[in-house]
Amino acid sequence: MSNIKLVLGTNIKMLRKELGWRRVRLAELTDLTPTFLFHIENGTRGVSLETVDTIARCLGVSVPRLFEPIAEETLAEIEERETPERILEREIREAVQAAVKRYVSSEAFLEPEEAALASEAK
């Protein structure tokens, strides 16, 4: 990576993901919008040194650390990692799917006449 904005953005994204944070969390801590952080992380927007300093402090690293070159494989490994947030999201999704399945199979959504007919058919 030779583009300085892309190096900076990739490092911010990698460090954020290492912490298991979503972009919204970093946005809250830095008083930036998630959209602006998206553009920073993707190297499509420039950023002031003051903002870089704020982001570095929130991520718990030095400013120079945000400009260190990074191997693409490292970022891919971090994106694949199971974070507590991803585990919770998966568990919630599975619980909702199971609840919907139970609800649909219970015939609770049927009108009383339809439920009676369904019960008679069993």
Cα dihedral across residues 107, 110, 111, 117: positive or negative: negative
Write down the pLDDT at residue 121: 62
For the chain, give every residue range classified as CATH 1.10.260.40.
4-81
* Separation between Cα atoms, residue 37 and residue 64, nearest integer Å: 19
Element (H, E) at 72: helix 72-80
Q: The whole model's pTM is what?
A: 0.61
pLDDT < 70 positions in the chain: 1-2, 71-85, 106-112, 114-122
Q: Does domain 4-81 have CATH number 1.10.260.40?
A: yes
The confidence score (pLDDT) of residue 89 equals: 81
Q: What is the DSSP string of 103-117?
A: HHHHTTTS-HHHHHH
